[in-house]
Structure 1
Amino acid sequence: MKAPKFPTNEAERIKAVKSYSIIDTLPESDYDNLTELAATICDVPIALITMLDKERNFFKSHYGISLSESPRDLSFCGHAILENDIFIINDAREDIRFIDNPLLEEQNVVFYAGVPLLDPSGYKLGTICIFDHEPRELNRSQIKALKTLGQQVVNLLELRKKNSYLNLIKGELEERNTQLKSFASLVSHDLKSPLSNIIALTDLLKEDNQGNLSDDSLQYIYYIEDSTTVLKDYIDGILMYYSADELLTSAKEDIKLSDIADDIKHILISNNEQLLFNDAVIKNVNKSALSQILINLVDNALKYNDKEDRIVEIKYELLPTHHKFSVIDNGIGIALNQQEQIFEIFKTIKNDFSKSNTGIGLSTVKNLVEKLNGQISVVSEIGKGSTFSFTIE
C-alpha cells in the first residue's frame, strides 16, 4: 500500500477547503440527492462527496455507508485529487497503491471512481466518488454523468459560501442598524430638550421686549426660531425614520377610513383647513403603518400650501391584490424635475414658499410603503397641487 502524496499547493488547497466552512457540517439533502443519483446512474452500492482536510477525508454526504470520515493516508480520494481527470481503479486488489489497504478488507472495497471537485481558483477540494464490491468498468455516459455531478457539487459549495457571506453581511447591517436606532434615540433625547429651551426663550424674549426690538433684532430672532424648528424637525424625522420598521410588526386588522381621518383631524386640521375622504371599510391592513403614512402625507399637503382655504382629500380604492390610497391637495405643487428626488432621504427641495424641509418624511413614507409590498408615486403641477398615490398589501 502507498499513502497518497500531498499536492504541491497543499497549503493553499487546505485554505481553500476551509473557506467553504464545510468540514464537520451536518448532512444536507442537496448533497445527499447527488450521491444517491451518482450511485443510481453508475449502479453501485456506495457513493460519497468528500472533502480532504489535512489528516482526514470528511464525507459531506455518504450513500450506502455509515462512516462520516476516514484517515487521509488510507483514502482513495487522496490519490484522486492528484489527477486532473476522473480517477478510476477497476480492481484495487491488483493495484500496488492499494494492496493491503484496510479498506479493502473492512469495507470490501474493490472498484473506485472519483472526480476531483475543482473550485473556481483551481484548487481540488475533494471528490465525488463511487465504490463497488467487485471489479467493474464505467461506460462513457456514466463517466460523463459523474463529472457533471461533480460540477453540481462545486456549484452547491459556491452557493453555500455566497449565502454564508450574505448572511454575515446581513448580520453586520442589522447590528449597525440597531446601533443607528440607538444613536438616533439618544441624540433626539439629548438635543430636543435644549432645542425646546431655545424656542421657549426666544418666545419670552419677544414678549418681554415688545416694542423695544428693532426690525433687525426681530429678524434675528425669527432666524433663530426658524433654524431651531428645522433642527427639531431633523431630529424628529431621524427618530421616526429609524423607528418606522417597528410599525410593521403590528397585526393586520379591519378598519374604517373615517377613524384614521378623525385622528388626523385632531392632530393636524385647523379652522381654515378641510380634510375630505370617501369613507370605507379597509380589510386586513396594518393600521399603525397606514396611519403613519397618511399623517405624513397630509402634514406635507398642509405645510406646503399657500391657499387661504387648504383642502386635502384622501381617496381609497380596493385593487385585486392591493389597497390603493391617494392624498390630493391644492398646495404649491412640485416641479416635474424634482418629483423623483423628494423620496430620497436628506434630499431637500428648494421652493418659493419659504418653507424648510428635512428630506426625511417622504423617505420614511416610501420605506414603509415598500416594506408593505407597495409602491408610491406623485403627480403634481406648480401652483395647482399634488396627488400622492400609494399601494399596500
Structure 2
Amino acid sequence: MTIKTSSTPKIKIDIPENESLRLQTLDELQLYPVTPEDNFDNITKLASFICKTPVSLITIIGQDKQWMKSATGTNVSEIDRDISHCTHAILEPGNLMEVRDTRKDMRFAENPFTTGQPPILFYAGMPLKAPNGAAMGTLCVLDTEPRTLDDGQKEALKALAKQVENLFELRRQNLHLQQVREQLNVRNTQLKDFAGTVAHDMKMPLANIIITSDLLRAKYGDQLDLQGKEYLHYLKQSSFKLSNYIQGILEHYESDTLTARNCEEFDIHDLLEGIIDLLNIDYDCVINLPEDNKIIHGNRTALEQIFLNLIGNSLKYTSTEKIVINIHFREDKDFYYFAVEDNGIGIPQDKQEEIFELFTVLAESDRSGNRGNGIGLSTVKKLILSLDGAINVKSKVKKGTTIEFSVKRVL
C-alpha cells in the first residue's frame, strides 16, 4: 500500500514526561539508520495476519521523525512525528491504544492520513517499552476501514510486542558486550605491549648479572669462602630462573603472531627430530615417533612451539630413571590429531583442568629441582585454539600423562 497524505497543516502533539530518557534509550540502541531485519519482519507479518489488517508496522519514534523498523503492507519508511498515530500511543506505555474510526477521534479527524488516499481509518498500537520504562515506539496494525480487534487479537498483539521488546533488549546487551570486548581488546593490547617492553628491557640486565657472577667467581674465587661461593651460585641460578620466566612471557604474547604466518608442507618426523635435537637431551630417554611419517600441510612454526613445550614437560616432570615418550598421529578430512604420552609423575584428577591456566604451577619442582613458571601449557592451549583445534589431558599420578590435541587442516 502506498499512502498519500493531504496538505493538512501539522498537528500539535503531546510529549512524554520522560522524553529525554526515551531519546537517550533510543541512542543507546543505535537503531539509526533503520535497516530491515528478518526477525522484525516476521513479527509484522504475523501481526497483520492475526489481526487481519493490510498494514502492520514496528515503529521507532525519534525526536522529529517516526521510522519504520519493519513494515508489512506499505513501502513508507518514515513520516513526520507530529502526524504519527504512534506518538500518541507512547504516552501510555503500558496500554494498547485502539482507534476504531479515526474520523471520530478528535486527535486524528484532521490527520492527513485520515483525509488522504487511501485513508487510514483504523489504528491499534502497543507501545514498545525498554527495561527503564521508556516507550521507544510501537507494534501497530492499520486498516483503511473502521473496525475493532477481538480479545484474542489484542492479546496476540501484546504478546508480539513483548517479543519485539525482547529483541531490542537483546540488541542492547549485544552492543554492551561488544563495547566491553573492544575495551578488553584495547587493555589486552596495552598489557601485551607493556609486558613485551618490560621483558625485553630486563633481559640485558639479567644477562649482565649472570656474566658478572661468572667473572667474580673466576677472578676472586680463591678469596671467597664456601658461603660466598654459594651466594654467587644462588645469584646466578636466580638470574637464570628469572630469565626463563621472562622468555616464557615473551613466547606467550608473541604466540599471537605465530598463527598469522604462512602454512607450509612438511613431514612429521622431520619436525619432531628437529625439536628433539634442539632439546639436547642428556637423560636416559626413548622417544617413539609416529609409525607412519606423514606429509601434512599446516603452520609448522606453531606446531614446533607446541611440541617443544609438551616434550619438554615430559622430560622435566618425571621421577623414573628411564623416560619413555610416545608421540601419536592420525588424521581425518577436517583435522590432524596428535598425542604426547609419557611415563612421568602424572597430574591429579582434580587439577587437570587447571594446568592450562596462565601462571598455574602444580609441581613443586622438576627433576632438576627447578620450579616452573606456569606459562608453557597456557601458551600451548592458546596456540591450539588459534589453529581451530582442541586440547585435553589424560593422566594418572605416578603412571604418566597423555596430552591430546587437534589442529584444523589447512587446504
- Shared fold (TM-score, shorter chain, > 0.5): yes
Letter in 2 for 1:186: T
Which deviates more, 153-162 or 276-285?
A: 276-285
Q: In the TM superposition, what are the counterparts of 1:1-393 in structure 2 within 5 Å?
A: 3-83=12-92, 84-106=94-116, 108-250=119-261, 255-272=266-283, 273-278=285-290, 279-281=292-294, 283=296, 285-305=298-318, 310-318=323-331, 322-334=335-347, 338-349=351-362, 350-351=364-365, 353=367, 354-371=369-386, 372-382=388-398, 385-393=400-408
- Measure, in 2, the Cα distance between the counterparts of 1:49 and 1:386: 59
Letter in 2 for 1:197: N
TM-score, normalising length from structure 2?
0.85
Cα displacement (A) at 1:164: 0.9
CA contact (8 A) 1:269 1:275 kept: no
Cα displacement (A) at 1:143: 2.6
The structure-2 alpha-carbon separation of the partners of 1:56 and 1:233, relative to structure 1 and needing over 3 Å to count, comes to same
CA contact (8 A) 1:20 1:161 kept: yes
- Measure, in 2, the Cα distance between the counterparts of 1:237 and 1:138: 70
Cα displacement (A) at 1:77: 0.7
Letter in 1 for 2:110: D
- Measure, in 2, the Cα distance between the counterparts of 1:320 and 1:158: 41
Cα displacement (A) at 1:377: 0.9
CA contact (8 A) 2:221 2:229 kept: no
The structure-2 alpha-carbon separation of the partners of 1:369 and 1:68, relative to structure 1 and needing over 3 Å to count, comes to same
- Measure, in 1, the Cα distance between the counterparts of 2:185 and 2:159: 39
CA contact (8 A) 1:376 1:391 kept: no
- Measure, in 1, the Cα distance between the counterparts of 2:96 and 2:81: 19
- Measure, in 2, the Cα distance between the counterparts of 1:194 and 1:313: 40
- Measure, in 2, the Cα distance between the counterparts of 1:203 and 1:330: 37
Letter in 1 for 2:26: V
CA RMSD of aligned residues (A): 2.8
Spell out, residue by residue over 1:210-252, the C-alpha distance to the aligned partner (whole angstroms, 9 max, x if none): 5443221221111111211121122111111122233333456
Spell out, residue by residue over 1:350-389, the C-alpha distance to the aligned partner (whole angstroms, 9 max, x if none): 137421211111121222334433122141434x654333
- Measure, in 2, the Cα distance between the counterparts of 1:211 and 1:330: 44
- Measure, in 2, the Cα distance between the counterparts of 1:265 and 1:140: 78
The structure-2 alpha-carbon separation of the partners of 1:262 and 1:144, relative to structure 1 and needing over 3 Å to count, comes to same
Spell out, residue by residue over 1:109-129, the C-alpha distance to the aligned partner (whole angstroms, 9 max, x if none): 211111111223333221011
The structure-2 alpha-carbon separation of the partners of 1:42 and 1:378, relative to structure 1 and needing over 3 Å to count, comes to same
The structure-2 alpha-carbon separation of the partners of 1:97 and 1:2, relative to structure 1 and needing over 3 Å to count, comes to farther
The structure-2 alpha-carbon separation of the partners of 1:23 and 1:317, relative to structure 1 and needing over 3 Å to count, comes to closer
Structure 2 unmatched runs, 5+:
1-9
CA contact (8 A) 2:99 2:122 kept: yes
Q: Matched residue of 2:341: which SS?
A: strand
CA contact (8 A) 2:317 2:366 kept: no
Cα displacement (A) at 1:295: 0.6
TM-score, normalising length from structure 1?
0.88
CA contact (8 A) 1:311 1:329 kept: yes
The structure-2 alpha-carbon separation of the partners of 1:172 and 1:292, relative to structure 1 and needing over 3 Å to count, comes to same
Letter in 2 for 1:22: L
Paired residues in the alignment total 392
Which deviates more, 137-146 or 291-300?
A: 137-146
Q: Matched residue of 1:249: which SS?
A: coil
- Measure, in 2, the Cα distance between the counterparts of 1:199 and 1:307: 32
Cα displacement (A) at 1:154: 0.8
CA contact (8 A) 1:48 1:59 kept: yes
**How much identity, in percent, do the aligned residues show?**
38
Letter in 1 for 2:103: R
- Measure, in 2, the Cα distance between the counterparts of 1:224 and 1:363: 28
Q: Matched residue of 2:69: which SS?
A: strand
Partner residue in 1 for 2:6: none
CA contact (8 A) 1:56 1:69 kept: yes
- Measure, in 2, the Cα distance between the counterparts of 1:333 and 1:129: 66
